[in-house]
């Protein structure tokens, strides 16, 4: 196991959280409890998903353009954000069987709750 600063912080904060998240959770295990621990570890709220989406778009489009001194238009960034949102939503909501590229486990959907159109619009889907 590779020890990192984040592992150290998690271990100091809560040794159980570190153990279940880093050692016990395993998506490939035959043990259903270990698979469930992996699934629970990946759950994110809608707001956390929004933050990850913004970070992904910045990392994939804005930073490479700036580092190569290329001009990038706001409309290009918005379009990439919309495409990324749509692709990830299809995977999270079960509309797409291809989850190999991006796995997303949204907290409300995992517990049988629906996500309303208004909530999606608040996340910036427009």
Domain carrying residue 28:
1-43
94 and 116 together in one domain? yes
Residue 74 vs residues 71, 81, 82: alpha-carbon distances, Å:
10, 11, 12
Enter the pTM of the model.
0.63
Q: 106 has which bridge partners? A: 44
- The separation between CA 99 and the C-alpha centre of its own chain, rounded to angstroms, equals 12
Q: How many domains does the chain have?
A: 2
Instruction: Return the pLDDT at 37.
Output: 87
22 and 76 together in one domain? no
The proportion of the chain whose per-residue pLDDT surpasses 70, expressed as a percent, equals 90
Rounded CA-CA distance 86/126 in Å is 11
Instruction: Return the pLDDT at 96.
Output: 66
Reported as a pLDDT band with limits 50, 70 and 90, residue 119 is confident
69 and 105 together in one domain? yes
85 and 121 together in one domain? yes
Neighbour-count burial of 8, counting CB atoms closer than 10 A to its CB (0-12 exposed, 13-18 middle, 19+ buried): exposed
51 and 4 together in one domain? no
53 and 89 together in one domain? yes
Reported as a pLDDT band with limits 50, 70 and 90, residue 93 is confident
Stretch (H or E) spanning 55: helix 46-57
Average pLDDT, the chain: 83
């Amino acid at each position: 196991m590779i020890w990192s600063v984040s592992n150290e912080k998690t271990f100091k904060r809560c040794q159980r959280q570190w153990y279940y998240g880093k050692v016990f959770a395993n998506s490939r295990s035959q043990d259903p409890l270990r698979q469930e621990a992996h699934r629970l570890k990946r759950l994110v709220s809608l707001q956390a998903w929004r933050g990850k989406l913004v970070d992904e778009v910045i990392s994939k489009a804005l930073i490479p353009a700036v580092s190569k001194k290329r001009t990038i238009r706001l409309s290009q960034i918005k379009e990439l954000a919309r495409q990324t949102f749509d692709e990830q939503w299809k995977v999270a909501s079960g509309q797409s069987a291809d989850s190999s590229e991006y796995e997303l486990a949204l907290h409300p959907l995992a517990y049988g709750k629906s996500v309303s159109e208004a909530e999606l619009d608040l996340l910036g889907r427009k």
